[in-house]
Amino acid sequence: MLRFVLRFIFWVSLIFIIIAFWTMTVGQYLNFEFKDPTLKNTFYRMIMIWTPVAMLLTFFGTMKKTHYLGRKIVTVIITIGAAALCYYVLENRPFTFGIGNWNTNNVLFQNRLDPDVQIREQTSAHGAFGWGEKRIVEVKPFANLFWQITEVDTAHLDTQTWMPINKEDSKLLP
């Protein structure tokens, strides 16, 4: 039973590490964003806190009784070093992945057939670092948790599809 628990901890930790690194690399280039900024911040906070812990928990699968002492020491040093480096990078470079929000300043257009599909003017917010760039995007709901984001040029919109509303959305303003 103990062997099963240790293997389970190892594999769950490994899966978490894979998800975390995928999120921080490939996931940053996909055109999906969390709908709820609180959920997004919670998700990335979990990634930042638990990735180094998960790296340490992989000891349960990498340490074997049959390994000689030198190999065990090297495994411990490399794993602790990798976890420390991971913690340092995650703690000191949070704006390179996921941290910071796009705030909607204005809802410019709304789709006539689906009111949840909108074209919004947004500004990036970086907390104490202030405001960044602006963009105009089409947002579509995806899986009820995400927005699918596509940058658009409002000069070439189909007026049969899009209804101009040009309203400030006070609940989404910073």
pLDDT greater than 60 at residue 159: yes
pTM for this entry:
0.72
Give the structural domain span for 112: 101-167
Percent of the chain at pLDDT > 90 equals: 20
Average pLDDT estimate for 25-51: 85
Q: Looking at the structure, do residues 78 and 117 belong to the same domain, yes or no?
A: no
Q: Looking at the structure, do residues 50 and 80 belong to the same domain, yes or no?
A: yes
Specify the DSSP element, H or E, that contains 174: none
Asked whether residue 82 is assigned to any structural domain, the reply reads yes
pLDDT greater than 80 at residue 113: yes
Q: Which residues of 115-124 are buried (b: 16+ CB within 10 A; e: fewer)?
A: eebbbbbbbb
Asked whether residue 122 is assigned to any structural domain, the reply reads yes
Q: Which pLDDT score is estimated for 118?
A: 92
Q: Looking at the structure, do residues 91 and 112 belong to the same domain, yes or no?
A: no
Collect all residues with Cβ–Cβ distance below 8 Å to 134 and sequence separation of at least 6. Answer: 105, 121, 122, 123, 124
Asked whether residue 173 is assigned to any structural domain, the reply reads no
Q: Looking at the structure, do residues 145 and 63 belong to the same domain, yes or no?
A: no
Q: Which pLDDT score is estimated for 117?
A: 93
Q: Which pLDDT score is estimated for 63?
A: 76
Q: Which of 96, 123, 150 is the last residue of a domain?
A: 96
Q: How many domains does the chain have?
A: 2
Average pLDDT estimate for 77-84: 87
pLDDT greater than 50 at residue 173: no
